Structure 1
Amino acid sequence: MFARDELEEMVQRWLEANRRCEERGDWRPLADLYTEDATYGWNIGPGQDFMAVGRDEIRELALGSEMGGLDGWSYPYQSILIDERQGQVVGFWKQLADARRPDGSPYEVPGIGGSWFRYGGGFRWSWQRDWFDLGNVTAVFVEMMKAGVLSDGMRRRLDRASSGAPVAGYYPRAQTPVPLW
């Protein structure tokens, strides 16, 4: 069990760090808010999962190459649930691009995205698991590509993903070095 006020302070530190990273377009500094041996993963559809093991992989893979091309995007949290008995936090967020549609509305991934955290003490997460609707993400990226507003970084990411070459952190479904769930 953790003190409720400690978890609430962790969430505030997390939200503030997220705001700074969004402003800079660089998510890697968030790695400082994970334990050395933390893990961070998510599902990438029916056949693949992503997993970063340890703070360095979280910095370079999850927050570096995987967030590459998403500079200018924001992930405003809509609601946060804290369970101090289990030391867990769940946050629900939106995915908003800085690019705008012809009608002035932002490109936004529909559906619910979120992060599930396990607190490790010392104002650091011991693990994080994300979820989002990959079909909706893909549809928004295709729409942005057709409109000519997809960032160069995101084009490079999509080229990397479609090249067929192995991508660090990607594993066949249920074969991550640490269980996803």
Structure 2
Amino acid sequence: MAFDRAELDEMVERWLQGNSDCEKAGDWRPLAEFYTEDATYGWNYGAKHDFMAIGRDQIRDYAIGYEMDGLDGWTYPYQSWVIDEKTGDMLGLWKQIFEATRPDGSHYGLEGIQGSWFKYAGDFKWGWQRDFFDYGNVTALFMEMMTDGVMSKGMQGRIDRVVNATELLPGWYPLGKSPVPMW
């Protein structure tokens, strides 16, 4: 299904504004309104787990709620977009940057390439989203932040929740076993 390029460009602008508003508010949950009722949102969590939220409620409660809680002070500035108006596929490439700075003045931030692959569903809604990032770099960054003593209380709580979990957390699945395909 082909889409009008102006509509896709407007979707990007709406999405960027929504992200900016949520970063300022410290609450990502309002972004759930950008997804269809039956949308899915997933990413890989390294060699053992995938994450998948199914439906707008799980996207709001798990993906941009539970999973983003504790990430106060982080921004995700988009660097570039690749848009295919024939398929509605859109790639948004972003950085993940923390407000604290290292002794050299640079911000703590995720290295490598990070991004989101979106499928546009029309009516200014996403049908699905898949994030990609280097999990090894995430681990290295968080270890550096812990060692340097700049981990926020919320961030430390988030890490403790994952490390101390006795069962899979909401939306977490064994690698390759999510109820909808990752790709």
TM norm. shorter chain > 0.5: yes
Unpaired stretches in structure 2, ≥5 consecutive residues: none
Partner Cα distance (1:156, 1:163) in 2:
10
Query: What is the match of residue 121 of structure 1?
Result: 122
Instruction: Find the residue that maps to 1:120 and give its secondary structure.
Output: strand
Quote the offset at 1:137 in angstroms. Answer: 0.8
Query: What is the match of residue 150 of structure 2?
Result: 149
Query: What is the match of residue 158 of structure 1?
Result: 159
Query: What is the match of residue 17 of structure 1?
Result: 18
Q: Deviations over 1:4-61 (max 9, x none)?
A: 1111100110011011111111111100100000000000011110000000100010
How many residues align? The count is 181
Quote the offset at 1:103 in angstroms. Answer: 1.6
Query: What is the match of residue 130 of structure 1?
Result: 131
Q: Which amino acid aligns with 1:171?
A: Y
Partner Cα distance (2:166, 2:31) in 1:
28
Quote the offset at 1:164 in angstroms. Answer: 3.5
Listed as ranges, the matches of 1:1-40 within 5 Å are 1-40=2-41
Using structure 1 for the length normalisation, give the TM-score.
0.98
Instruction: Find the residue that maps to 2:82 and give its secondary structure.
Output: strand
> Which of the numbers 158, 163, 171 marks the counterpart of 2:173?
171
Partner Cα distance (1:111, 1:99) in 2:
19
Instruction: Find the residue that maps to 1:110 and give its secondary structure.
Output: coil
Q: Which amino acid aligns with 1:173?
A: L
Unpaired stretches in structure 1, ≥5 consecutive residues: none
Partner Cα distance (1:86, 1:45) in 2:
29
Quote the offset at 1:91 in angstroms. Answer: 0.7
Q: Deviations over 1:103-154 (max 9, x none)?
A: 2210011100000000011100000000001111111111111111111111
Partner Cα distance (2:178, 2:16) in 1:
28
Residue 71 of structure 2 corresponds to residue 70 of structure 1: yes
